Every structure is written in structure tokens, then in C-alpha cells.
Amino acid sequence: MKTLLLLVGLLVTWESGQVLGEQEVSERELQEMSTEGTKYVNKEVKNSLKELKQIKTLMEHKNDERKSLLGNLEEARKKKEEALTDTKDAEMKLKASQEVCNETMMALWEECKPCLKQTCMKFYARVCRSGSGLVGRQLEEFLNQSSPFYLWINGDRIDSLLENDRQQNHVLDAMEDRFNRVSSIMDDLFQDSFFSREPLDTFHFSPFGSSPRRPSFFHSKSRLARNIMPFPMFGPPNFPDMFQSFFDMIHQAQQAMDVQFHRPSFHFPELSAENNDSRSVCKEIRHNSTGCLKMKDQCAKCQEILSVDCSATNPAQNQLRQELNSSLQLAEKFTELYDELLQSYQQNMFNTSALLKQLDEQFSWVSQLANLTQNEDQYSLHVTTVASHSSDSSVPNGFTKVVLKLFDSDPITVTVPADVSRNNPKFMETVAEKALQEYRQHLREE
């Protein structure tokens, strides 16, 4: 019985010590901590709102860059289209007189085809995944139906140019469509008076108030309320709904911009197993076999077709061929230039998308914080409990545990090293910083 009474006494003493330990921090000290923590949160909100406006400025700058790139793209497109038109005209004129030198080219073609098929099938078997048998039959049929004249006029290069032109136009149209949708959304967002005013000055700025009775940042008499809602109101504004509207618009813009364009850059590779373009060549060979014609440089008889000189029988045809080659080289040059500009435009799009993500991250925690505001008498940060290892065994030795709320949020627990004492001005700054970090991390995980 004595032992039992002793154990009960020790338990009561321990529990009393824990309560006493927690009561070492008076209500007045808790209020002072809450006031200091609130000041830090106010400062972070202020900085966040300023950064939102800085992001707006950066996005406007990116839009100016985009317009400049569009002008360069349009100029390059015109030159490319002119060269493509000249190329197609020269091709049509040559096709009209293809009978010239036909016997010579046909004889070479009969020797070119077996080499071309063998070279292509070796490449396909070494590089591509499957379907060699089907591809072999398709290729043989394709070569039997093809004309050596197609090689003589570099028809594969012309087809590649036309296909690249189609792809480039598609990619630019798709990017422009997304930019226009994003621009429309962001114009609506940035036209709000909240974004159109200068950053809030330090002297008047008091977002959440630094005392328990000062009006909240989100109350109708606060400076933010006057900045965002400058018109007369018959009642307090519904800030959660208003911020949610901003938040939804940012998400809509992100979704509109969230796209990847993976089109290979324009070039005419010499095909080999090591070539980076092998995957697209495999696809082209499976699709229509024309990819095999790009291997003509590896067959001597195919090369001879390219060097056939018809000037003795038809000087005009030789002149047309020279014009075709000149316009073809020019079209390739402007296609490559256009592709470089298109990639710069695409990078501008990705940079804008990154700014939208930054805008989302910067705005989300402020908007969600606004959703927690219930009345004007609350602290933005309210400390409820402070405990050390001596008063709470769950607290790691050498640390101080602080339990707090951001408005009416769920309790947030942070620990501060004991070498930063409660009297140290850095104590509540550390507490508030950790609390906001945890709060933001929670939002990202939702």
C-alpha cells in the first residue's frame, strides 16, 4: 500500500511538473509571441504580393519577346515559302521533260535498286525494333514503282522540305493558340486593380495587424481590401471567393500552357546506326519506305544517277536542274533558320510556363491563408503552447516545441534549437518561418 501511494504521488508530481512547465510561459508572453509571429507573417505576405507584381512585369517582358520573335518568324517564313515555291516550280518543269536521258537513268536504276534495298534492310535490321519482313516487301514494291528521275531531282529532299513546312506550321499554330488563350486569361487577371497599383508601401502596410484587436488584412477596411476592391461595398468582401477566382484563373492559364512539342530539328542526316535521327527514320521506312532513298549516297550506281548530265540532248533541262538545286539549297537554308527561331519561340513559351508556375506557387499560400480568415479579431499567427524537454518528454532534448495556428488552421508544431532562447528576437522569426514552410509544403502535397 505504501509503495502504491508512493507511485501515485510520483505520478501526480510528474504531471504537476509538466503543467507547471507549460505554465512557465504566461498568457501575456504567448500574446507577445503571437504579435511577433504575426509581424513576420505580415512581412512575408507583403513580400509575396510584391513578387506577384514582379512576376507580372516579367511575363509582360516575355510577351514583348514573343512578339519580336513572331516578327522574325514571319519574315523567315516568307523567304522560306518563296524558296519552296521556286523549288516546286522547277520540279514541275523538270517532270514535264523527264523522258530526256531516261534510258541511261533506267539502266543505272536497275543496278541501284538491289544495293539500295540491301543497304536499307541492313540498317533497319540493325537499328529498328521489328517488322523487317513486312518492310522488305513494302520496300521492294516501292522501288519497283519508283522512278530514277525522283533521285535525279533530289525528290527525297523536296519531300522532306514540304513535310517540315507542314510540321513547322502546325507547331507554330498550336503554340500561338495556347499563347492566345493564356494571354486572354492573364489579361483578365492583371487588369484587376490589385495588380495595377504600385507595391504597397511599408509605412501604411499592415496586412494582418500586429495586435489581437487590430483589423485583419482581409477585413474590408484593410489596405488590401482598398487595393483589390476600391469600389463602394455594402458589406465585407468575400475574400476566399475572390482569391479563389484569382487562383482558378492562374490554374487555367497553366493548363493552357502545359504542352510539350518534341519535333526534331530540321536536317538531312547521313544515315547510320549511330545517328541520333534513327528512330524517326525507322518510322519513316515503316510508313512509306521513302526513308530508304536517303541511303542513296552509300550506293555507287545510285550516285551515278545523280551525276547524269543531260545537257547534250537538252540544255534547257540542265538549266532547270541547276535552278532547282539552287532553290532547294535556299529553301533548306531558310527552313533551318525558321526551325532555330521556332525553337527560340518554344523556349519563350516554356519560360512563360515557368513564370506561371512561380505565380501559382507564390499566390497559392496567400490565397489559401485568406481562406482561413474567420474574423477580424484573430492573430494571423497564434501561439497556443510552448514546451521544452523538461516539461514535455516528447520534445527532443535541446529543443523548444511551439504549437501554433495560422488563423483557424489545424495546429502546426515546430521545434527550435534551445540555443535560440524565447527572449531572442530570432526565436519567433524562426518559429514563424518554419510554420510557413510547413504550411506551404502541405499545400504543395494536397
Q: Give the residue from 384, 441, 390 showing the smallest Cα distance to 408.
A: 384
Number of helices and strands (H, E) in the chain?
13, 3
CB–CB of 305/148 below 8 Å?
Answer: yes
CB–CB of 172/303 below 8 Å?
Answer: no
CA distance 392 to 389: 5
Q: Which residue has the cell 499560400?
A: 365
CA distance 372 to 381: 11
Which phi and psi angles does 229 have, rounded to 5°?
-120, 75
CA distance 378 to 386: 19
The Cα angle at residue 25 between residues 20 and 26, in degrees rounded to 5 = 100
Q: Which three cell numbers stand for residue 356?
A: 506561371
CA atoms within 13 A on the CB side of 186: 27
Which phi and psi angles does 401 have, rounded to 5°?
-95, 135
CA distance 407 to 49: 19
Integer distance in angstroms from the first to the last C-alpha of the chain? Answer: 55
CA distance 16 to 371: 39
The Cα angle at residue 265 between residues 263 and 268, in degrees rounded to 5 = 125
Number of other CB atoms surrounding residue 210 within 10 Å: 16
3-state SS class at 248? helix
3-state SS class at 413? strand
pLDDT along the chain (446 residues), means of 10: 40 36 73 92 84 84 90 94 93 78 86 92 84 83 86 87 90 86 78 54 34 38 38 38 67 72 47 52 76 87 88 79 92 93 89 83 73 60 90 88 87 92 91 91 75
pLDDT at 358: 82
pLDDT at 372: 66
Sheet holding 399-406, edge to edge: 381-388, 399-406, 412-417
Question: 387 pairs with which residues across the strands?
Answer: 401
CA 63 to chain centroid, in Å, comes to 15
pLDDT at 146: 83
Residue 213 burial (10 A CB sphere; 0-12, 13-18, 19+): exposed
Pair type for strands 412-417 and 399-406: antiparallel
Alpha helices in 155-297 (DSSP H): 155-190, 193-196, 223-228, 239-257, 278-288
CA 190 to chain centroid, in Å, comes to 20
CA distance 327 to 294: 19
DSSP code per residue over 277-330: THHHHHHHHHHHSGGGGGGGGG-HHHHHHHT---TTT-HHHHHHHHHHHHHHHH
DSSP code per residue over 87-126: HHHHHHHHHTTTTTTHHHHHHHHHHHHHHHHHHHHHHHHH
DSSP code per residue over 359-393: HHHHHHHHHHHHHT---TTS-SEEEEEEEETTT-T
